Structure 1
């Protein structure tokens, strides 16, 4: 599988909030955002959604560990990057001092993914599409 065009050559912000559905409604009204996709859990909380604001992709969802809502002391943003070799990049980052939050694993949505925290507190999610 090839990296989707709208994910190529970019770092995709992924904000975590309390009330993701309300945030999507706000961004639609305030910024003219359009909803691209939404994955909700059985409890109605948004696990993952994507909107476009004037062509730019923004990921968002309801906050769950390791994320926290803004102002509560934890990170509320993750940075997604599609890479050719998630396993190699994860090994390299861990060797350089990144904290491994989740080892590379094949995910149900068609990507191999890892999650790391850099020494400055930022959470990075690296993905390689599965073929």
Structure 2
């Protein structure tokens, strides 16, 4: 018997409230929880839900080993989001401050995909059906 496991990725960012607003605007995510602000004025965690997936954002705290992509010199993880219209999703991300790293195009492996770096340094593969 396998255990029931839930995975909740946590993205480390400088400003969790700003990141939450970006993911709500760019990905249509819904904020489902926000911890009260700590001594530094930032919440320790904000939980978001986009479609059937949930993820969290937390502030960078170097003494805890919580480092943002800016602290690391880049993102150590690729986040993949599958959507019906990757072009529209990529456009929303760039309209809200994301940067295209690899253009969204039809790929030889039968998907339309590309990569966008969000304003916080995290890399997203945006993928969906061919156009």
TM-score, length-normalised on structure 2? 0.47
More strand per residue: 1
